[in-house]
Amino acid sequence: MTITEERPAPEANALAELDAHNISAWFGDHKVLDRVSLTMPAGEVTALIGPSGCGKSTFLRILNRMHELVPTASMAGEVLLDGADIYDASRRLTDARHQIGMVFQKPNPFPAMSIYDNVIAGLKLTGTRASRSEKDALVEECLTKGGLWKEVKDRLRAPGGGLSGGQQQRLCIARSLAVRPRVLLMDEPCSALDPTSTRVIEETMLELVKDVTIVIVTHNMQQAQRVSQNCAFFLASHGTPGVIVEHGDTDAMFAEPQDPRTFDYVNGRFG
């Protein structure tokens, strides 16, 4: 008797690794990143830390092709999503932005649009058709994953702009999730929020990371330790382009930094 083994097809939303290789970036002729390489493992949180102006946001925007929105911007290097280059000429720019979502520092829901419509706003942009019941299910799923469902389930038709700052940020997370990204980039997502909202978002992230790879920029060292498994320390010293000084396991990096500059930074000596 022969036994044929059937391999399950990879799920469309299976966990994905993001690999940046030798990323350099410029604004005009000002070089702001120099050959930065970093692996952001699937299903884990990677935190990017470092002083202001060292290129963390620029690096993050390169990871989903938003850097090229700036007219003077240019870059070199490769970004691989599960081994496939997101900058490959045969891939559409919008594919990268759907697969790799972004949450910004300042919550930016569409203020006059209802909570419900905010969540599904991305479907129109991706050209995804969905029935009313499919949309209802998606809205509930994404608001639940975003940690907001219980607070808003009775006022889904109220405007997104009427929520508190922390709720608006969770609405933005839910909106990002609705197009089923494989990676979620978060640029200081809690810096405009109070400690309680920050905690709720951090708990949300720990749940989300089971489904989506997360990369977060944070200036809060405690936050990096609470939410991330991996950490990268960026530095641009004396007007030179940003580089990664040290990266690796978060607990190890905070407990025993290998580079004295990392030690000084994580202990609040500068930045």
Ligand X SMILES: Nc1ncnc2c1ncn2[C@@H]1O[C@H](COP(=O)(O)OP(=O)(O)OP(=O)(O)O)[C@@H](O)[C@H]1O
* Partner from ligand X, Mg ion, none contacting 77, C-beta within 5 to 8 A by type: none
For residues 211 and 145, is the Cβ–Cβ distance under 8 A?
Answer: yes
* Closer residue to ligand X, CB minimum distance, 75 or 200: 75
Nearer to ligand X, 138 or 193 (CB): 193
Interface region with Mg ion, contact rule CB under 5 A, candidates 50-58, 142-150, 234-242, 253-261: 50-58
Residues 20-39 that bind ligand X (CB under 6 A): 27, 32
Q: Which does 70 bind (CB under 5 to 8 A by kind): ligand X, Mg ion, none?
A: ligand X
Number of residues that bind ligand X (CB under 6 A): 10
The candidate with the shortest Cα–Cα distance to 45, out of 180, 175, 232, is: 232
By Cβ distance, which residue is nearest to Mg ion? 57
Site for ligand X in 184-203 (CB under 6 A): none
> Smallest distance from the beta carbon of 53 to ligand X, in angstroms?
4
Short-list 15, 19, 100, CA closest to 65: 100
Site track 42-81 with ligand X (rule: CB under 6 A), x = hit: ----------xxxxxxx-----------x-----------
Q: Closest by alpha carbon to 173, among 115, 114, 218, 96? A: 115
How many C-alpha atoms does 249 have within 13 Å on its Cβ side?
Answer: 4
Strands 100-103 and 183-187: parallel
Q: Which helix (H) or strand (E) holds 56?
A: helix 56-62
**Which class for 15: exposed (0-12), middle (13-18), buried (19 or more C-beta within 10 A)?**
middle
Task: Give CA–CA dist 172/203, Å, rounded.
Answer: 16
Contact partner, 197, from Mg ion, ligand X, none, Cβ < 5-8 Å per class: none
Taking the least distance from each CB to ligand X, the nearer of 152 and 266 is: 266
* Token pair in block for residue 233: 């320390």
Q: Which is closer to ligand X, CB of 16 or CB of 100?
A: 100
- CB 160, min distance to ligand X, A: 25
- Token pair 């990143």 in the structure block, residue: 33
User: Would you say 39 or 74 has its CB closer to ligand X?
Assistant: 74
What does the angle CA 101 – CA 145 – CA 93 come to, to the nearest 5 degrees?
15
Answer for which of 16, 33, 49, 57 binds Mg ion (CB under 5 A) is 57
**Which residues lie near ligand X (CB under 6 A)?**
27, 32, 52-58, 70
